[in-house]
Structure 1
Amino acid sequence: MANIQSLDPTASPLDYYGWELRRQREAHGLKQGQLGEIIFCTGSLIGQIETTKKVPTRDFSERVDAALGTDGLFSRLIGLVLRSQLPHWFQPYAEMEAKATYISTYQAQLVYGLLQTEEYARAVLATGKPDDLEGLVAARMERQRILGREQPPLACVVLDEAVLHRPIGGLEVMRKQLEHLLEFTGHRWLQVQVLSYSAGEHASLAGSFTAMRFDDDPDVVYTEDLISGHMTANPETIREAALRYARLQATALSVEDSAALITRVMEERYEDPSGHEEHTVA
């Protein structure tokens, strides 16, 4: 039998989720194992989520809502739960990112978080030796849901060419990641450009940054150092970031030429491990 733990539902979104899951399950007269059978998981997993030892997923939440008839309660809660799994210093940025109407970012080291595949994200996040890697991965995937909105933010992404060549997670992971980037070619709301090595010195040699605009809030610029992130709405910083980003975009390859470079790097550096190449006709 799972250890019965008294939860304080006000302690955190995860605690509230576990408390509410237990309350709803018991209200329906179900044991943990019985609910597990209905939603195709183990009773042990139900117990771990109820006692906050395991972070739930969106799929789990949707299945619980369907099984218990909770009118989307857990599907709504899961966004808060997953966001709470992000590092504390990053949570304010994630909240602003979710409200942004326009995002412009330059990334010197890694694929922009909203464009990362799950495998790539897992490899990146594992470098920090986190206690709950899967929770962090789920939280990063949750952030990407803003791109699937009926009216998502307009996003302009400039990636340094080095991002394409750094084999995060191995050849197969990188191939899938670059294939994913190519899926955005011609996207209405999002464009990806590559700042090629041939550009030489450029407007952001100091590193990556992200600028965000909002309908009802001041613009902000976000940067990171070794252990934390920093947001500012200082007008002078905003103007400087906008100028630098405009120069980066002007120096970067066009969207079409960027896609061609991504394709070339993918084929030359990350050949399909099976040895079979798929060729499409435009």
Structure 2
Amino acid sequence: MKSKLTIALAQLAPEVGNTETNLTRAIEAADKAKAAGADILMLPELHLQGYRADELFAELAETIPGPSTDRLGEVAKKHNLHIVMGMGRRSEGFPDLCYNSLCFLGPEGVIGWYDKIHLGTFHPYIEGVYFAPGRSAPVFDTRFGKVALQICYDASFPELTRLYAMRGAVLNLVISAGPSGDCEGWANTLRQRASENVMWTAYCNTVGKQKDFSFFGGSKIVNPFGQIVAEAKFDEEDFLVATIDLEQSFHTRRHWMTFRDVQPWLLSELAEASANAR
């Protein structure tokens, strides 16, 4: 297993509804990541269609595998690169739903996908109008070890990240459409999730303006101690590259014995309390 790896964060402003342009820019970012020696390229939440494509998702959402992931998969194979890209995904057949998803590609093609579990559906967010919530929390085996995937609001729920960690993940890849005005809140959330699970976290945010929304950028890498070790520019496109060493997670977990002290009965009571709160 490879301990040291380089992650490229492509902090881009997509064109709403223009999948061809947005895919072309993703491919260009992959070329740039290859030139930088990156092992993983991350692109933001709903990059393929744009976060505010809204009613257009019903026609622009794609299957995985599908036309865009086929093209991007060819690039991943060519560059020996892992790629995470946000996109609207449609199910194949009944119940014919759309999901706020990400595709996870590697040199071997489609590794899998993740559907956002926690949809922002409170003023002014309207994700639940267009998407169904995800119902699984997969951890993916890679040549770097076990990798977890999240989308934006998911990171606000500590139980999801803890589940990933207890399934063996040592790297959490978070893509986002983080709105302007919440830069500090996002930094605090990511630092906390990383430190409480002793897990490297890479966060790739979108930037620019879409309809009445603006996004702050500020993509970042957070180490297992909750320290921000690399950060992209705010309020403009950027391309951030950083090298991390996953051994830091393994060593620290052995030293702190974090998961030895997890109390399963508390997790059971959390599940019960959550069910009763609905």
Structure with a larger share of its residues in helix: 1
TM-score (norm 1): 0.29
Larger of the two Rg values belongs to structure: 1
Higher RCO (C-alpha 8 Å, min separation 6)? 2
TM-score (norm 2): 0.30
Structure with a larger share of its residues in strand: 2
